[in-house]
Amino acid sequence: MNEWMKKGPLEWQEYTYKEVRVTASDKEYKGWVLTTDPVSANVVLVNILEDGSMSVTGIMGHAVQTVDIVNEGDHTVREKLMNLFMCGDCKAYSPEDLEKRKNSLKKWLEKNHIPITEQGDSQKTLCVAGVLTIDPPYGPENCNSSNEIILSRVQDLIQGHLAASQ
């Protein structure tokens, strides 16, 4: 098993929104890490082209040999990457509305004794007990975790919160 596959989801997440050079079994890739699959260790790289468009490359986790950070990135690149695949619902919310939704959900989860923190430079992602993340606009479908039980329970709590706040 290669070194990349020995890492875990929290370690892989440290590479998110950073420019990296990935050496894989067939060749070398360079780009900004958009995400890493917590089960397969697959890496999704984005390259911002000169004309403003973007190219997306997926690299199978088992083929990854090394991942080296080339550039930590800045706020502009991170925002561009975060919004790249932003759902249509997210674009319907103003930054102020998203902040209200995040704070409301955070209070609700804390009230239900769920350990919750904010993560990332922009503090937009909520993290539950280090094993689940919730991205904007903070609905049940915005939860990510490799632990199906925790995922299901937190999604149910969020659904209850949304029903109660309407």
- Reported as a single tens digit per residue, the pLDDT across 11-29 is 998 898 899 999 998 799 9
pTM of the model: 0.53
Q: Is there a domain that residue 150 lies in?
A: yes
CATH classification at residue 20 = 2.30.30.100
Query: At which of 56, 83, 110 does a domain end?
Result: 83
Q: What is the mean pLDDT of residues 139-162?
A: 90
Of 88 and 4, more confident: 4
Mind listing the pLDDT tens digit for each residue in 92-119?
A: 677 888 899 999 999 999 998 999 999 8
| CA 44-11-151 angle, 5° bins | 80
Q: Same domain, yes or no, for 74 and 100?
A: no
pLDDT of 121 over the 80 cut? no
Total domains in the fold of the chain? 2
Q: Same domain, yes or no, for 131 and 66?
A: no
Q: Same domain, yes or no, for 19 and 41?
A: yes
Q: Same domain, yes or no, for 66 and 101?
A: no
Q: Which domain holds residue 133?
A: 95-164
> Can you give the pLDDT at residue 115?
93
- Contact between residue 112 and residue 160 where contact means Cβ atoms under 8 Å apart: no
- Contact between residue 93 and residue 84 where contact means Cβ atoms under 8 Å apart: no
Q: Same domain, yes or no, for 55 and 101?
A: no
Q: Same domain, yes or no, for 57 and 105?
A: no
For tokens 């209850």, name the residue. 160
